[in-house]
Structure 1
Amino acid sequence: MSDNESDLFKAAMGEMGGVKRIRPERRVDLKKEAPEKASLKARREAATAMTEQELNPLSGEFVEQVDPRDPIEFKRDGVQNGVYRNLRLGKYTVDARLDLHNHSVDRARKALFEFVRDCLDADIRCALITHGKGEGRQNPALLKSCINHWLPQLEEVLAFHSAQKQHGGMGATYVLLRKSDKKKLETLERHQKRLK
């Protein structure tokens, strides 16, 4: 086709209107397609959940229901019976308190984990958690049941028992925490001096 014919062809096509140039399709995608918004959101939520689980190991799995009037109790192997008895009887000084009234389960879970971590940082051995009995509620003793489920999951918790009446009775729990490494060393040094 000569240049003159080519020009006549282009002019004729332009006059017809509605004629569009056909662009060849690419056989290889050169640009990465953006993921769908829902897929991106799901991946972000999964990453956040995983990070939260790593930061707070307390499980949100099935929690066995506890009666509002029943005591909750736990003792790790190695905890002396006398130590546990003193905890149960409220003979240890309560150095820290956590009140979970009006907390949702998720908020209570976060607060409990942070509270135990803060107690360890401050070398606190005995703490009191007030959770209420939850009597007369649609889900009675929900937070109490969660506390009973969560505390054994924390290695720092050596023992716990429902509190004495003057500290909240069945609506509160004494928690005995392990000694920090600093306190263990101080105790060891004190005992070694006594032996000399």
Structure 2
Amino acid sequence: MTRRPPQVHDDDSRLFREAIGEVRPLPEAEALPEKPRPAPHPHMREADEAAVPADAMLFDYDPADLEVGEELSYLRDGYPPRLLKQLKRGQFSIQAEVDLHQMNAAAAQLTISEFLAECRHDGIRCVRIIHGKGLRSKAGGPVLKGLTDRLLRRRDDVVAFASARPMQGGTGAVIVLLKG
């Protein structure tokens, strides 16, 4: 619905001009030069990197406590093996994450696809996908974990992925490295 401006009668217009008196235009002001914006500074990345050694000391764990045989690991052909080692050691800063808990397989598949597409669009290289350990899964094993593994192996934009370190979710999450 469009609103029309109210009608101004000649008497009102004349009274207004008499009330304000003579008017003179203001001189044109020069536009101030735009102040250059400062370069972005990665404060959160620095804080994350600084916290890594402290976090490693806080979480003592016995390697025997790891769920052997349940770790996910993948490196696309043509990339150096040290890349996967660095990923497993937590040497990449996680820039985004998505949690698939309480989702069925169809919703999780769509969520992973949309999440990774958005990350690639935003220039994000390292992400965490929390799929859970499948503790409530039936005899077939962890559904979302297997689905995540299959989906990531098929995607061209995935360079490598590995199960997260214990303090990052362990075998209930996967750290993914995307093409840059």
TM-score after normalising by structure 1: 0.55
Q: Output the amino acid matched with 2:124.
A: I
**Segments of 4+ moved more than 3 angstroms:** none
Q: Output the amino acid matched with 1:110.
A: L
Aligned equivalents of 1:137 and 1:148: distance in 2? 16
- Which residues of structure 1 form unaligned runs of 5+? 1-66, 180-196
1:145 deviation in Å?
Answer: 0.5
Aligned equivalents of 2:154 and 2:137: distance in 1? 26
- 1:94-149 CA-partner distances (Å, limit 9, x unpaired): 00101000011000000000011001011111000000001242143110000111
Match of 1:114 in 2: 114
Q: Which has the higher helix share?
A: 1
Helix, strand or coil at the partner of 2:129:
strand
1:157 deviation in Å?
Answer: 0.4
Match of 2:25 in 1: none
Identity within the alignment, %: 32
- Structure 1 vs Structure 2 CA RMSD: 1.6
Q: Which moved more, 1:111-120 or 1:75-84?
A: 75-84
Aligned equivalents of 1:153 and 1:83: distance in 2? 19
Q: Output the amino acid matched with 1:88.
A: K
Q: Output the amino acid matched with 1:153.
A: R
Residues 136 and 102 of structure 1, relative CA distance in 2, 3 Å threshold: closer
- Which residues of structure 2 form unaligned runs of 5+? 1-66
Residues paired across the two proteins, number = 113
- 1:45-86 CA-partner distances (Å, limit 9, x unpaired): xxxxxxxxxxxxxxxxxxxxxx99601111111222222111
- Report if the CA contact (8 A) 1:68-1:170 is conserved: no
Q: Output the amino acid matched with 1:89.
A: R
Residues 69 and 171 of structure 1, relative CA distance in 2, 3 Å threshold: farther
Match of 2:125 in 1: 125
2:164 maps to 1:172:
no
Aligned equivalents of 1:90 and 1:135: distance in 2? 25
TM-score after normalising by structure 2: 0.60
- Report if the CA contact (8 A) 2:75-2:159 is conserved: yes
Helix, strand or coil at the partner of 1:135:
coil
